[in-house]
Amino acid sequence: METQRHEIGMIGLGVMGRNMLLNMADHGFPVAGYDKDSSKVEALRKESAGNDIHAAANIEDFIGLLRAPRAVMMLVPAGPPVDSVIGDLLPHLEKGDLIIDAGNSYFKDTNLRARNLAGKGIQFLGVGVSGGEEGARHGPSIMPGGPKEAYERVRPLLEAVAAKVNGEACVAYLGPGSAGHFVKTVHNGIEYALMQLLAETYDLMKRGLGLSDDELRDVYDAWNRGELNGYLVEITSRIFNKIDEKTGKRLIDEILDVGKQNGTGMWTSQSAMELQVPIPTIDLAVAMRDMSVLEKQRETAGAIFKRPIPPFTGDRKVFLDQLGHALYAAMIVAYAQGMAVLAAASDKYAYTLDLEAVARIWRGGCIIRAELLEDIRTAYRNQPGLPNLLLAPELSNKVRANQEDLRRVVCAAIEIGLPVPCFMTALGYLDGYRSAWLPANLIQAQRDYFGAHSYERVDVKGTFHTDWTKG
Among candidate residues 269, 278, 320, 324, the one with its CA nearest the CA of residue 106: 269
User: Based on CB atoms, which residue is closest to ligand 6PG, 367 or 376?
Assistant: 367
234 is catalytic: no
261 lies in the binding site for ligand 6PG (CB under 6 A): yes
366 lies in the binding site for ligand 6PG (CB under 6 A): yes
**Residue 259: how many CB atoms within 10 A of its CB?**
17
- Stretch touching ligand 6PG by CB under 6 A, among 260-268, 310-318, 327-335, 423-431: 260-268
Alpha-carbon gap, residue 197 to 423, rounded angstroms:
7
Distance of CA 50 to the CA centre of its chain: 35
131 lies in the binding site for ligand 6PG (CB under 6 A): yes
User: Based on CB atoms, which residue is closest to ligand 6PG, 261 or 270?
Assistant: 261
What is the side-by-side strand order in the sheet with 98-101?
53-56, 31-34, 8-11, 71-74, 98-101, 123-130, 141-145
Find the shortest distance in angstroms from Cβ 127 to ligand 6PG: 12
> Which residue among 19, 48, 104, 224 contacts ligand 6PG (CB under 6 A)?
104
- Asked if 33 and 41 touch (Cβ cutoff 8 Å), the reply is yes
Find the shortest distance in angstroms from Cβ 283 to ligand 6PG: 15
Among candidate residues 7, 191, 200, 394, the one labeled active-site is 191
User: Based on CB atoms, which residue is closest to ligand 6PG, 117 or 366?
Assistant: 366
Residue whose CB is nearest to ligand 6PG in the complex, by number? 130
Among candidate residues 170, 124, 168, the one with its CA nearest the CA of residue 150: 124
Radius of gyration of the chain (CA): 25
Among candidate residues 2, 36, 120, 184, the one labeled active-site is 184
Find the shortest distance in angstroms from Cβ 265 to ligand 6PG: 6
User: Based on CB atoms, which residue is closest to ligand 6PG, 62 or 192?
Assistant: 192
> Which residue among 185, 188, 201, 237 contacts ligand 6PG (CB under 6 A)?
188
> Which residue among 64, 132, 278, 428 contacts ligand 6PG (CB under 6 A)?
132
* Distant-in-sequence, close-in-space partners of 74: CB < 8 Å, separation ≥ 6: 10, 11, 12, 17, 82, 85, 99, 100, 101, 102, 103
* DSSP category for residue 6: B
425 lies in the binding site for ligand 6PG (CB under 6 A): no
Find the shortest distance in angstroms from Cβ 327 to ligand 6PG: 20
**Residue 390: how many CB atoms within 10 A of its CB?**
22
264 lies in the binding site for ligand 6PG (CB under 6 A): yes
Beta bridge partners of 101: 74, 126
Interactions with ligand 6PG, residue window 190-219 (CB under 6 A):
191
270 lies in the binding site for ligand 6PG (CB under 6 A): no
> Which residue among 4, 262, 454, 466 contacts ligand 6PG (CB under 6 A)?
262
Contacts with ligand 6PG by CB under 6 A: the residue count is 12
- Asked if 72 and 9 touch (Cβ cutoff 8 Å), the reply is yes
User: Based on CB atoms, which residue is closest to ligand 6PG, 123 or 196?
Assistant: 196
255 lies in the binding site for ligand 6PG (CB under 6 A): no
Alpha-carbon gap, residue 435 to 427, rounded angstroms:
12
HSE (side-chain half, CA atoms, 13 Å) at 457: 8
Find the shortest distance in angstroms from Cβ 333 to ligand 6PG: 20
Alpha-carbon gap, residue 155 to 53, rounded angstroms:
20
- Asked if 448 and 466 touch (Cβ cutoff 8 Å), the reply is yes
269 lies in the binding site for ligand 6PG (CB under 6 A): no
19 lies in the binding site for ligand 6PG (CB under 6 A): no
Q: How far is CA 81 from CA 66, 76, 338, 440, in A?
A: 22, 7, 28, 45
Find the shortest distance in angstroms from Cβ 286 to ligand 6PG: 9
- Asked if 185 and 267 touch (Cβ cutoff 8 Å), the reply is yes
- Stretch touching ligand 6PG by CB under 6 A, among 89-97, 126-134, 158-166, 418-426: 126-134
Type and span of the H or E element at 188: helix 179-203
Alpha-carbon gap, residue 130 to 110, rounded angstroms:
17
Find the shortest distance in angstroms from Cβ 188 to ligand 6PG: 5
- Stretch touching ligand 6PG by CB under 6 A, among 125-133, 145-153, 207-215, 227-235: 125-133
Alpha-carbon gap, residue 184 to 264, rounded angstroms:
8
Beta bridge partners of 129: 142
* Distant-in-sequence, close-in-space partners of 469: CB < 8 Å, separation ≥ 6: none
Find the shortest distance in angstroms from Cβ 205 to ligand 6PG: 23
456 is catalytic: no
103 lies in the binding site for ligand 6PG (CB under 6 A): no
State the catalytic residues: 184, 191
Point out which residues bind ligand 6PG (CB under 6 A): 104, 130-132, 188, 191, 261-262, 264-265, 366-367
